[in-house]
Amino acid sequence: MPQPETTMAKLDATTPQPIQLKDYTPPSFLIDKVDLTFDLEEDHTRVTSRLVLHRNPAHPDARAALQLDGRELELESVKLDGELLDSSRYELDAESLSIAAMPDNAILEIVTVIHPETNTSLNGLYRSGANFYSQCEAEGFRKITYYLDRPDVMARFSTTIVADKQKWPVLLSNGNKVGEGMLDRNRHWVKWVDPFKKPAYLFALVAGKLSLLADRYTTTSGREVALEIWVEPADLDKCAHAMSSVKKSMQWDEQRYGLEYDLDTYMIVAVGDFNMGAMENKGLNIFNTKYVLARADTATDVDFDGIEAVIAHEYFHNWTGNRVTCRDWFQLSLKEGLTVFRDQEFSADMGSAEVCRIDAVRTLRTHQFAEDAGPMAHPIRPESYIEINNFYTVTVYEKGAEVVRMYQTLLGRDGFRKGMDLYFKRHDGQAVTCDDFRAAMADANDYDLGQFARWYSQAGTPVLRVRGQYDAAAQTYTLEVSQSCPATPGQAEKLPFHIPLTLGLVGPDGADLPLQLAGEAEAVAGSRVLSVKEASQTFHFINVAVEPVPSLLRNFSAPVKLDFPYSRPQLVHLLAHDSDAFCRWEAGQTLMLQDLQGLIDAARSGGELELKDDFVAAMRRVLADESLDPALVALMLTLPAETYLADQQDEIDPDAIRAGREAMKLGLARALRSEFKAAYTRMLDSGAYQYEATAVARRSLKNIALAYLSELDESGLMELAERQFAEANNMTDAQAALACLVNWPEGDAALASFASKWADEALVMDKWFTLQASSRRLGVVAKIKALMQHPAFALTNPNKVRSLIGTFVHNNLAGFHAIDGSGYEFAADTLLAVDKLNPQVAARLAGSFNRWKKLEPVRRAHMRAALERVAAHAGLSRDVYEIVSKNLM
Ligand code: 0A1
Ligand code: ZN
């Protein structure tokens, strides 16, 4: 690979500088109490903040200045202990307000003016329509007032909101409502007090015309909690699923971890303009509407699943994130990895654990493995960052969750629970580190987790190389296990990880053989966990009566790539018999990947695109096996994403990947036409829509069968999709049918009728944009540009940008990577336009350049040119600067 020379601007005073973990120092002051008053007006908001502070004895310099963070604020006044300070008594710059001469104890009163009405970044206080919403994680509070905006400063907050009563009748903030009343000019006020200490990133404020769905929940210990979901009035009929998800989450956390809710009210607010999925502000969670609103006819099964998971995630943060928070943002995975693990375990208990696990692994491999192999690779606890918002990544979240899962795999469920109990006992009310969590797990179980620390500091996806040898005469099976990890930016050499390797040995009849290691007195049945700690290690199994097929990395016991030289008959055997659903699915995927690679190679060299008979036969058996969970069958028939296939190539040729993948779809559809038709018919359901595991599973198989059948250019089959589209009583079936139709001329009429039916439902229109952005008919940028002119599209709305532009640049491999570079030009232009409005959303689009060094030479040159153009652009945000500069290093 050629080493590119960069045209990035030379380092100067304005070049954003990285922040380093090793530079952490405690804050010079701590804040005990914050009283905030917000005066909301149409054209400005006045924020009055009263801080009670004291010098932090843990700070190395006992005379250090107080330096408060602040950005884009208009300072009106500063009072220190009641005395108005003139500008000689403090220093002000674009990022901070500093006071050198500070007493050890002080009361500061600061008045600032901000402009939510023009804040398009959706960070800090902003408007969505006429309403006000806030987003403070990670560093948004400094856009509201001057503050020690860091998570290790935890204070008690009170918030008074003053606003016109007609325009903004509902006024919400954290904690409990303690008073309200009327003022002059038809304005009213509401005061909230949060009894818990919290960092500023958990502050929230909402004001506007909102409707309420109210319910109640009684905790195990008898606390009565008022549950409130606040939405735009038109959406009140789409909140029932979210409410039931809240109650399930509360109950689950009590049963599994003994954790109860701790305030009298738990509020959720849904907003259509939001940068992420949702936010766990204390007592007042703010959600993207996408993760609250669902009705059978507007939301798919996947949406219902997503809502249940995100509601759980934010609720679980109340303990893992809020009661125990992060010392600094390098520790983000402390709360995010742990909370994702908790929401995954919750979802597993609510539906099919096996399907949830496979879904999680697919996400990890498709997105996180790619991140780990690219220019933005970082450990789950990064060592440095330029913009923290760029580190809300699949690595910190999903790989972080895998790391937490490995504790449970090594310590067992009870051992993990003991570790959690000790973690809360030690750290409730504190801001701590990933090392504190690891220490709690180790101490509660008297287990050495020293080497395990490397999962926090080393980036990259380890490769686990396993070789097996059966000795029939000695009745032994020997596994040689070795591990390595590729270099990542800034980390050339890696030390061995502590890897839990869960495995079984599958006999010729498909049953698990007993497992007995040399030196052990007894065998164990089924699976067991081996601790792999060395670069190379050997495990000897004894009393192995017949030659087994090893079933390795059961339930995906570690976030690694497995290298074992399975023969095709061995894979077919595991696919048919493995008692571990993940490994069963994995065997099918390995076969599928091998054959896809063959097809991609053939497409590149102009060879024949034919499927192998043993693969087709194996898939036929899967499809005909009525004893299997239909959801598992659907997963086994799901092809890996184009981007995942791209990541398996030494040099990416997007057209060959598309051709190979399409050939597999068509080949399977032709070969298994009657089986797909039978499955479709078997799974048809005439009853009313129900979001319930069995019904969801049946729809998933039905709709994947339809997708394969629609590959065949036969009028009867196209009518099947058209009929399903016309007659569907739920969005899952309607969307699935439309997804089939959009690849054919029949799709145009369907798209038009869909758009006119759902013009007023923003989230449904997002699906309409997504479907067209992923269509393989598209191929050209012109269509996307035309869609950007549609009245339902808005460059200021993150959901719209993600649906149309994000889908195109991230998921439509062959469309985005058009050989003439038009996709890259479009991406560059669009992300520069978005960067002016919303840097966080722009930075996500910039991530579409992360694979550029692996492209074939023509596209590589085009993409590099587009990247350099972005890099040379004046006034780039820190967010986008970090992504493009790391790409060009
Ligand atoms: N803590 C939230 C994620 C989140 C992060 C940043 C945000 O705005 C910049 C918003 C939400 C979660 O994990 O759900
Ligand atoms: Zn989270």
Q: How far is the CA of 345 from the centre of ligand 2 (A)?
A: 15
In ligand 1, which atom is closest to the CA atom of 840? 9
Whether pLDDT at 871 is above 80: yes
Q: How far is the CA of 442 from the centre of ligand 2 (A)?
A: 24
**pLDDT confidence tier of residue 629, bands split at 50, 70 and 90:** very high
Q: How far is the CA of 125 from the centre of ligand 1 (A)?
A: 15
Q: Looking at the whole model, is its pTM more than 0.90?
A: yes
Q: Are 267 and 252 in contact (CB under 8 A)?
A: no
Binding-site residues, ligand 1, Cβ < 6 A: 123, 135, 137, 275-280, 313-314, 336, 389, 392, 840
Q: How far is the CA of 334 from the centre of ligand 2 (A)?
A: 10
- Which residues have their alpha-adjacent CB atom under 5 A from ion ligand 2? 336, 339
Nearest CA to ligand 1 atom 5: 137
Averaged pLDDT for residues 6-20: 68
Q: How far is the CA of 388 from the centre of ligand 1 (A)?
A: 11
User: Cβ neighbours of residue 509 under 8 Å, at least 6 residues apart?
Assistant: none
Q: Please write the tens of the pLDDT for every residue from 282-292.
A: 999 999 999 99
Q: Please write the tens of the pLDDT for every residue from 70-122.
A: 999 999 999 999 999 999 999 999 999 999 999 999 999 999 999 999 999 99
d(CA 254, CA 741): 46
d(CA 677, CA 668): 13
Q: How far is the CA of 387 from the centre of ligand 1 (A)?
A: 14
- Higher-confidence residue of 585 and 6: namely 585
Instruction: Give pLDDT, residue 743.
Output: 86
Whether pLDDT at 9 is above 80: no
Q: Which of 133, 134, 202, 276 to mutate to test the pocket of ligand 1 (most atoms within 8 A of CB)?
A: 276
Q: Which of 128, 137, 320 to mutate to test the pocket of ligand 1 (most atoms within 8 A of CB)?
A: 137
Nearest CA to ligand 1 atom 1: 279
Classify the C-alpha dihedral 791-797-802-803 as positive or negative.
negative
Q: Are 683 and 701 in contact (CB under 8 A)?
A: yes
Q: How far is the CA of 802 from the centre of ligand 1 (A)?
A: 16
Q: How far is the CA of 336 from the centre of ligand 1 (A)?
A: 9
**pLDDT confidence tier of residue 13, bands split at 50, 70 and 90:** low
Averaged pLDDT for residues 542-563: 98
Instruction: Give pLDDT, residue 12.
Output: 54
d(CA 9, CA 435): 38
Nearest CA to ligand 1 atom 9: 137
Nearest CA to ligand 1 atom 8: 137
Classify the C-alpha dihedral 102-104-107-108 as positive or negative.
positive
Nearest CA to ligand 1 atom 13: 336
**pLDDT confidence tier of residue 776, bands split at 50, 70 and 90:** confident
Name the closest ligand to CA 138: 1
Instruction: Give pLDDT, residue 744.
Output: 87
In ligand 1, which atom is closest to the CA atom of 275? 8
Q: Name the amino acid, one letter, at 681.
A: T
Q: Which helix (H) or strand (E) holds 464?
A: strand 463-471
d(CA 344, CA 334): 16
The length of the chain is: 889
d(CA 667, CA 84): 78
Name the closest ligand to CA 317: 2
d(CA 526, CA 511): 9
Instruction: Give pLDDT, residue 2.
Output: 43
The token pair that represents 266 in the structure block: 């738990």
Whether pLDDT at 326 is above 50: yes
Q: How far is the CA of 137 from the centre of ligand 2 (A)?
A: 10
In ligand 1, which atom is closest to the CA atom of 397? 13
Nearest CA to ligand 1 atom 6: 137
d(CA 691, CA 303): 11
Q: Please write the tens of the pLDDT for every residue from 721-770.
A: 999 999 999 999 999 999 999 988 889 999 999 999 999 999 999 999 99
In ligand 1, which atom is closest to the CA atom of 392? 5
**314 is a catalytic site residue:** yes
Q: How far is the CA of 10 from the centre of ligand 1 (A)?
A: 33
**pLDDT confidence tier of residue 780, bands split at 50, 70 and 90:** confident
Instruction: Give pLDDT, residue 779.
Output: 62
Nearest CA to ligand 1 atom 12: 279
**pLDDT confidence tier of residue 1, bands split at 50, 70 and 90:** very low
Name the closest ligand to CA 334: 2
Instruction: Give pLDDT, residue 7.
Output: 44
Q: Please write the tens of the pLDDT for every residue from 814-852.
A: 999 999 999 999 999 999 999 999 999 999 999 999 999
Q: Name the amino acid, one letter, at 172.
A: L
- 386, 464, 605 from 143: Cα distances, Å: 18, 46, 56
Residue 473, judged by CB atoms within 10 A of its CB (0-12, 13-18, 19+), counts as exposed
The residue from 139, 228, 280, 314 that is catalytic is: 314
**pLDDT confidence tier of residue 800, bands split at 50, 70 and 90:** very high
Q: How far is the CA of 512 from the centre of ligand 2 (A)?
A: 38
Q: Which of 149, 279, 292 to mutate to test the pocket of ligand 1 (most atoms within 8 A of CB)?
A: 279
Phi-psi map region of 125: left, alpha, beta (phi>0 left; psi -120 to 50 alpha): beta
- 96, 235, 516, 602, 622 from 638: Cα distances, Å: 52, 34, 36, 21, 12
Q: Which of 201, 318, 392 to mutate to test the pocket of ligand 1 (most atoms within 8 A of CB)?
A: 392
Q: How far is the CA of 203 from the centre of ligand 2 (A)?
A: 15
Q: Are 809 and 816 in contact (CB under 8 A)?
A: yes
- What percentage of residues in the chain have a pLDDT greater than 70? 98
- What percentage of residues in the chain have a pLDDT greater than 90? 96
**pLDDT confidence tier of residue 716, bands split at 50, 70 and 90:** confident
Q: Please write the tens of the pLDDT for every residue from 209-258.
A: 999 999 999 999 999 999 999 999 999 999 999 999 999 999 999 999 99
d(CA 208, CA 129): 9
Respond yes or no on whether ipTM tops 0.95.
yes
Q: Please write the tens of the pLDDT for every residue from 158-167.
A: 999 999 999 9
- Compute the mean pLDDT over every residue in the chain, rounded to the nearest whole number: 97
Nearest CA to ligand 1 atom 2: 279
Q: What number of CA atoms fall less than 13 Å from residue 119's CA on the CB side?
A: 31
Q: Are 382 and 391 in contact (CB under 8 A)?
A: yes
**pLDDT confidence tier of residue 717, bands split at 50, 70 and 90:** confident
Q: Which helix (H) or strand (E) holds 254?
A: helix 240-257
- 221, 370, 741 from 404: Cα distances, Å: 28, 20, 42
**pLDDT confidence tier of residue 6, bands split at 50, 70 and 90:** very low
**pLDDT confidence tier of residue 714, bands split at 50, 70 and 90:** confident
Q: How far is the CA of 482 from the centre of ligand 2 (A)?
A: 34
